Amino acid sequence: MEFHPHDLLKLKGEEDLICDSPLPDWVKESLSRAPFVVVRRAPLMKKLVPIGIRGESRSERFAAFIPYDKILETITPEQLVEKTSWKQNQRFHCIDALQSLPHVSKTLSRFSVRWGPTGSVGFELASNVYTAKPTSDLDLVVRTPSLLPMELAVDLRTQLCKVKVGVDVQLETPKGAISLDEYSKGKSPVLLRTENGPQLVKIQEIWNT
């Protein structure tokens, strides 16, 4: 089984989590509202997937692990796009970040990339539990298995700047994730998020093998 950062995993409940410290109360409440966790960018341990639990505020984030065999369902960001999951969302008309998805989808289809929503919007689309806020940005992951030419990156950023909410794109490369905003400035170094932590890399080394 393969898991990637941002994938959402459905589980039965808090009893299936493995962690070093006791679960805060908000984690239990959060999982009883929506039994979904997010795959973290960390090394896969033997049969354990590193995950994070999100609470209601930005300061509520908790790291733990879940054994493979306790995962009931895996939802990738791309699957949320394939299903055009926003069409079924009840809050489509009151949350700008949700409402901008059809436009963003049309824009990204011109770039022939695989992509999907992450963050609070992805979580809400996968779980059907109110998570995004009227002020939420739209976080996206865009798969870039091979070099994204700079002129395309600049074009993509320009197009996404026209969306009425802030769009925060992480480009997922074979080595880790970089920010589209930073990459499209064309300056070295850029911050690469790897499973062993963040590092600064030269722009020409991002896709080097």
**Catalytic residue set:** 137, 139
| Interaction between residue 162 and other proteins (CB under 8 A) | no
| Interaction between residue 124 and other proteins (CB under 8 A) | no
- Of the pair 71, 108, the CB lying nearest other proteins is at 108
DSSP track, 102-160: HHHHHHHHTTT--EEE-HHHHHHHHH-S----TT--EEEEEE-SS---HHHHHHHHHHH
Cα(138)–Cα(166) distance, integer angstroms: 6
Pairing assessment for the beta strands 73-75 and 8-10 based on DSSP bridges: antiparallel
- Of the pair 29, 73, the CB lying nearest other proteins is at 29
- Of the pair 77, 193, the CB lying nearest other proteins is at 193
Pairing assessment for the beta strands 167-173 and 138-143 based on DSSP bridges: parallel
What residues from 78 to 97 belong to the interface with other proteins (CB under 8 A)?
none
Cα(206)–Cα(44) distance, integer angstroms: 22
Segment (H or E) for 197:
strand 197-201
What residues from 136 to 155 belong to the interface with other proteins (CB under 8 A)?
137, 139
Query: What's the min distance (Å) between Cβ of 58 and other proteins?
Result: 4
Q: Are 117 and 140 in contact (CB under 8 A)?
A: yes
- Of the pair 72, 161, the CB lying nearest other proteins is at 161
Task: Please identify, among the stretches 26-34, 65-73, 107-115, 194-202, the one whose residues bind other proteins according to the rule CB under 8 A.
Answer: 194-202
Size of the site for other proteins (CB under 8 A): 20
* Chain positions contacting other proteins, by CB under 8 A: 57-59, 61, 119, 137, 139, 166, 168, 170, 179, 181-182, 189, 191, 193, 197-200
